[in-house]
Every structure is written in C-alpha cells, then in structure tokens.
C-alpha cells in the first residue's frame, strides 16, 4: 500500500518534471503573451519527433524553433506570419491544421464521404426490410455464407 | 453470386490499399520532410569558417561551382556512419563538398575532424542553428546539393550512402551541366 503511494508520487513528480523540462523559461512580459505562445506552439508540429507538438517536444530543433517563434512574436509578427515563416522552411508539415488544397481534399472530405457511404448503406438496408420479408425472402445465415 | 463474392472483393481492395501504403513508405522515408527550397535559390548566409573563425563565408563566395552542403556535428552518431562516404566523394573530386558544422562546439568539431579526417573544401559554422532554420535543417546529418547558380537542387535527410550519390546526386549534376 505504502509502496503504491510512493510509486504514484514518483510518477507524478516525473510527469511534472518532464513537463517543466519541455518548456524553456522564456521572458514573457505577461500571461496573455504566454497563453498566445502556448496556443501557437501547440498548433505546430515538431519536425523531428513528428507525433509531438512544438510545445511538447524535447528535441533540440523544437527548442530552437520555440525560441524562433518567441523572437518573431517579440517582433510583432501575427500568428499567420509566424506560421508562414515556418512553412516556407519546413513545408505544411509543421501545421497540425493542413490548408485546404487540391492535394488535401481527400484528407478533409474523406471521412465525410465514408460517413455518407455508411448512411446510404443503412438507408438501403432499412428500405429493403421495410419492403417486407414476403417480397424479398431474407436468406438464413447458413445460406448466405 | 456477386453478392457472395462482395466480402472477398472488399478484402482484396483493403489488401491492395495496405500494400500500397507499405510500398510508399519503403520508397521514401515517411519521416523525411521534403525541402520546400528545391528549385529555389538557397537562402543567403554569412557564416564564420571553422578553420578561420574571423573570416565570414557568404553564399555568393561559393557560387560558380555545384557543391554538396553536408550538415554534420560531432554530437551526431549517424555523421560518423556517412563520413567515409562523404570523404570518398570529396577525394574523388566528382563533387565539391562543403561542411556545415551545425550547433557544435568549435573544439569538439576540430577534434572530431582530427579523429575521422577532414574531407571538406571549407567548413561553415552555424553555432546557434539560426542559419540552419533558414535552410530547413532539423537534424544531422542532412545534405543539400546546391547548383553553380546557388539554387537548391536536392536535399537528402539522413546518412548519405554510395547509392544516394550515384542515383540521386550525380544524375542531377549531369542534367545541369552541358
């Protein structure tokens, strides 16, 4: 029981420690600026470890790009300008929200198309059942398979 | 009959899709980010030379001859793997090789070169990684093939191998030279 407590405490400490490590101390002038920085870097994808956001990653390049994002914020650049700066160098890869282009329409509308196909199949099955078993005899499972 | 075969066709279609996915990831490293700079002029830079720290090397100083800009660092294990290949390429004289010492300590870089040999015609130092960001560098090793006109012809992420040189880099130069 006691050991579980200590393990939990250790785990909690490790989690908070790694969190603190990922975020370098940057001289934010107020909380609003820090919130904007957090929001922006969590929308950007780390180029080295690509299943992490720029905000979470410990990769060296992620730290450098966080510093760069911070410097651009100090220069008064908008979020869109900062994203453009990064896509010019690292392509749309850095954006978690890829722009709508001819290349990405399948990505954006593919799930919707699958959902529509599912709806059509369900409607077809419901209609066939509503037509009654006397008109289209439903074969038993053994026959079908 | 067709209704009975429907699950089979669905299975075949799904297999084909998954197989295509495997093939695509074999042909190209899915984690390698393609450079948006290909076909465009390389970004301007003015970086100190490793061997002459007080001398700045600019992009314009390197024009007139194609070269391979090889991003390396003493902290990078894969750079040791590709180093013999890079050295052989430089020795053969088929392509000029310029080093790009990325986020390294000067003493460490010099010791590394002393240990493994220095094949580079020149070495640029990007100590803070700022010039690397302009090039779209996100790790080491990476290599950029730059044309005589200063345009980026190709980018290779990861260790350069003999196959990469023969199949990716040199054919691009033969196309560019009359």
Q: Per-residue confidence at A140, pLDDT binned at 50, 70, 90?
A: low
Q: What does the mean pLDDT of chain A come to?
A: 82
Return residues 113-152 of B near A (CB < 8 Å): 128-130, 132-139
Three-class HEC string of B144-161: EEECCCCEEEEEEECCCC
Q: Report how far residue B163's alpha carbon sits from residue B149's, in angstroms, rounded to the nearest whole number.
A: 25
Q: What ipTM does the predicted assembly reach?
A: 0.81
Contact A93 B33 (CB under 8 A): yes
pLDDT tens digits, B91-125:
999 999 999 999 999 999 999 999 999 999 999 99
Q: What is the pLDDT of residue A20?
A: 46
**Per DSSP, what are the bridge partners of residue A45?**
A53
Chains A & B: contacts with CB separation below 8 Å? 36
Residue of B30, B38, B138, B142 to mutate for A, most A C-beta atoms under 10 A: B138
Q: What residues of chain B lie within 8 A of the CB of A58, using their CB? A: none
User: Is A89's pLDDT higher than 90?
Assistant: yes
Architecture field, domain A1-99: Orthogonal Bundle (1.10)
Domain range summary for chain B, segments of one domain joined by +: 1-30, 34-176
Q: What is the pLDDT of residue B32?
A: 82
Say if B11 is an interface residue toward chain A (CB within 8 Å).
no
pLDDT tens digits, B75-91:
999 999 999 999 999 99
Domain range summary for chain A, segments of one domain joined by +: 1-99, 100-145
CA distance B128 to chain A (A): 8
pLDDT tens digits, A6-63:
666 666 665 555 444 445 678 888 899 999 999 999 999 999 887 899 999 988 999 9
Contact B133 A65 (CB under 8 A): yes
Q: Report how far residue A40's alpha carbon sits from residue A123's, in angstroms, rounded to the nearest whole number.
A: 43
Q: Which chain B residue has the Cα nearest residue A143?
A: B4
Fold of B34-176: Glutaredoxin (3.40.30)
Q: Is the distance from CB of A86 to CB of A94 less than 8 angstroms?
A: yes
Q: What is the pLDDT of residue B115?
A: 95
- What's this model's pTM, rounded to 2 decimal places? 0.77
């Amino acid at each position: 029981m006691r050991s579980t407590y200590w393990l939990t405490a250790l785990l909690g400490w490790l989690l908070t420690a790694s969190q603190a490590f990922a975020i370098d101390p940057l001289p934010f002038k107020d909380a609003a600026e820090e919130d904007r920085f957090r929001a922006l870097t969590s929308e950007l994808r780390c180029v080295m470890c690509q299943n992490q956001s720029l905000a979470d990653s410990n990769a060296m390049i992620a730290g450098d790009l966080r510093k760069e994002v911070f410097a651009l914020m100090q220069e008064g650049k908008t979020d869109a300008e900062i994203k453009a700066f990064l896509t010019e160098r690292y392509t749309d890869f850095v954006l978690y929200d890829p722009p709508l282009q001819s290349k990405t329409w399948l990505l954006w509308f593919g799930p919707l198309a699958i959902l529509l196909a599912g709806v059509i199949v369900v409607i077809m099955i419901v209609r066939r059942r509503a037509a009654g078993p006397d008109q289209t005899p439903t074969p038993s499972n053994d026959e079908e398979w | 009959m067709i209704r009975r075969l429907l699950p089979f066709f669905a299975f075949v279609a799904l297999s084909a899709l998954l197989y295509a996915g495997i093939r695509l990831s074999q042909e190209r490293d899915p984690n390698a980010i393609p450079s948006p700079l290909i076909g465009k002029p390389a970004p301007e830079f003015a970086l100190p030379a490793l061997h002459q720290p007080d001398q700045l090397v600019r992009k314009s100083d390197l024009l007139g001859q194609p070269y391979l800009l090889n991003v390396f660092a003493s902290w990078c294990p894969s750079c040791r793997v590709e180093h013999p290949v890079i050295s052989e390429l430089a020795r053969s004289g088929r392509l000029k090789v310029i080093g790009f010492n990325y986020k390294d300590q000067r003493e460490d870089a010099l010791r590394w070169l002393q240990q493994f040999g220095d094949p580079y015609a020149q070495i640029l130092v990007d100590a803070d990684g700022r010039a690397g960001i302009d090039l779209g560098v996100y790790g080491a090793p990476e290599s950029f093939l730059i044309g005589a006109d200063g345009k980026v012809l190709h980018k290779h992420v990861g260790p350069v191998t003999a196959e990469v040189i023969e199949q990716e880099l040199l054919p691009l130069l033969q196309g560019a030279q009359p």
